[in-house]
Amino acid sequence: MLRRLAKLPLAVSLSLALVATLQSVDTLAEEPMTEAISEAIPDPVSFRTEHRGNFNGRTLNYTVRAGETYLRDVDGEPSAAIFTFDYVAADTTTDRPVTFVWNGGPGSASIWLHIGSLGPKRVVVPSNAEHAGPPPYPVIDAPETILDVTDLVFVDPVGTGYSRPLGDHEGKEFWGLTEDAESFAAFIRQWLTDNGRWNSPRYLLGESFGTTRAAVVAELLEDEYAVSLNGLIFVSQALNYAGSTPYVGNNLISYVTYFPTMAATARYHGKVDSDGMSLEEWVDAAREFATEELLPALWRGNTLDEETRISVRDGIARFTGLSPEYIDRAKLRVDGRRFAKELLREEGKEVGGNDARYVTDPVDDLPASVSGDASSNATSGAYKAALLSYLRDDLEIDWHRRYLSPSDPRLDEEWNWNPRGRDVAWEPHWVDTTPSLVKALEVNPSLNVMVASGYYDLVTPFFDAEYTLNRYGIPAGRIQYSYYGGGHMMYLNEEARQEFLKDVRAFIQAQLRD
């Protein structure tokens, strides 16, 4: 999930982000926000349990180590505790693959991918975009997950989950575009050393801002630390924010990158006539219109002739289900967040941002844009309750420390988007870590990328992934695009979840040496 900060010109807060919504389900009973720091830093905490499961038809004994790895400062003193959940096969050899997994935010723990998709247990929420309702929430075996082909390490950034700064170090030392990536790269190197896994095939899997992070981590590992990777898996890609920031009025790119997602959403809710086309065919037609007609019209601005303007307006209406009058008032510029409000306005409802299949009935029907997120409201409580129950009941984590989800509230105000450092002069621009990905791919010619996108994602639209990654000179054969009938977290849709896991498994296996 992707969250951005409202105070900065390059990135405006996504009120749709799941991290912010989780604040409504948090509880102060877990632990005071400010923890006392003792003068003597204790040894890292670790919980270890043994398990057995069947994954993709293979019976596997595996160990779960849930615990801290200490990062160290230039003086060799502990600076932060990175808490991870390590799922390691009992018969693991040094050449078994290991995949490092994280969510986004910035400021999200790995809760979503852990208990919703890749972990050996998963919470059951309605697949058809209905509200999960009150507890209890079923937590069941997930035999489709990928433990049969790779060990899994779920990583929580500093200030999320159980991860914390240590001693005299502060959270803001790790809260920034570069600072965050450096802590992850340092953790991965330390984990490989601690676990004797330097010869294991290695993969990074990030979601949303986690893909922003993964690109920089990949560059650090490949170019600076000589840690080669076998593959990168981007879930709901967010490398260049120009194509995923629809609420900046002069950002012409976003009106194009969001368009196919709006077309898919309008079709899902029965607001357009798709002429018998399949979803894929309808989306292809929307892509072509966005590229061949909408983009040139927006580029021409007030020099656009009236005949062409009316033709483009009517095309927008045909694909989005919005009225020509509304599109006229919008001057052909349909904002993704306003679309989420406008599509079902006559019914007094609005669609979700993270997953536009979801619908909510807000009290206030008058605003131009959505103020919350239907999909977050429907699932956040279930995910948090399920994870914390699973940690205690299955992983036997009985600890006073509060599991921060959402993150430490200071993370928002102290996050640093300047890639050059907090105190270095900088002309603000769109966040763009695609050059880091390009560098990693240059250093390692065997490194390939899988990009997983949901058709109904109005936060990081799938067409933005194509726009971003197809224009940097990366050979087409090194990027694999996969699409699913869900949203930002496509695995909320059960069919999409199983397809996603199947595709990830195949990608991991394809990147291994013969």
Tokens 């499961």, residue located: 53
Assigned superfamily of 18-24+59-72+97-242+401-510: Alpha/Beta hydrolase fold, catalytic domain (3.40.50.1820)
pLDDT of 34 over the 80 cut: no
Distance CA 140, CA 161 (A): 22
Neighbours of 428 (CB within 10 A): 11
Of the listed ranges 87-96, 133-142, 225-234, 487-496, the least confidently predicted one is 87-96
CB 66 within 8 A of CB 46: yes
Q: What is the pTM of this model?
A: 0.92
pLDDT of 3 over the 60 cut: no
Nearest one of 191, 178, 18 to 99, comparing CA atoms: 191
Bridge partners of residue 12, in order along the sequence:
none
Q: Which residue has the higher pLDDT, 7 or 180?
A: 180
pLDDT at 12: 33
> Residue 38: pLDDT band by 50, 70, 90 thresholds?
very low
pLDDT at 422: 86
CA distances to 244, 250, 332, 500 from 463, rounded to whole Å, are 10, 19, 18, 18
pLDDT at 39: 63
Distance CA 324, CA 309 (A): 11
Query: Is the link from the previous residue into 44 a cis peptide, with omega within 30 of 0?
Result: no
> Residue 283: pLDDT band by 50, 70, 90 thresholds?
very high
Provide the token pair at 289: 């219109």
Q: Are strands 151-155 and 78-89 parallel, antiparallel or unpaired?
A: antiparallel
CB 350 within 8 A of CB 320: no
Q: What are phi and psi of 246, to 5 degrees?
A: -80, -10
Neighbours of 5 (CB within 10 A): 19
Neighbours of 374 (CB within 10 A): 26
> Residue 250: pLDDT band by 50, 70, 90 thresholds?
confident
Mean pLDDT across 287-313: 97
Tokens 């239907």, residue located: 374
- Looking at residue 349, its amino acid is K
Return the biggest CA–CA distance within the chain.
74
Q: What is the mean pLDDT of the chain?
A: 92
Residue 247, judged by CB atoms within 10 A of its CB (0-12, 13-18, 19+), counts as: middle
Distance CA 15, CA 35 (A): 28
Per DSSP, the residues of 176-232 read BHHHHHHHHHHHHHHHHHHTT-TTS-EEEEEETHHHHHHHHHHHIIIIIS----SEE
User: pLDDT (tens digit, 9 = 90+) per residue, 290-299?
Assistant: 999 999 999 9
Q: Which residue has the higher pLDDT, 188 or 514?
A: 188
> Residue 482: pLDDT band by 50, 70, 90 thresholds?
very high
Which value, to the nearest 10 degrees, does the dihedral of the CA atoms of residues 331, 334, 337, 340 take? 120
Residue 207, judged by CB atoms within 10 A of its CB (0-12, 13-18, 19+), counts as: buried
Provide the token pair at 468: 């971003």
User: pLDDT (tens digit, 9 = 90+) per residue, 467-478?
Assistant: 999 999 999 999
CB 22 within 8 A of CB 380: yes
pLDDT at 248: 80
Neighbours of 233 (CB within 10 A): 25
> Residue 37: pLDDT band by 50, 70, 90 thresholds?
very low
Q: Residue 424 belongs to what H/E stretch?
A: none
pLDDT of 426 over the 90 cut: no
Alpha-carbon 184 to chain mean position = 16
CB 387 within 8 A of CB 93: no
Where are the domains positioned within the chain?
A: 18-24+59-72+97-242+401-510, 250-376
pLDDT at 16: 33
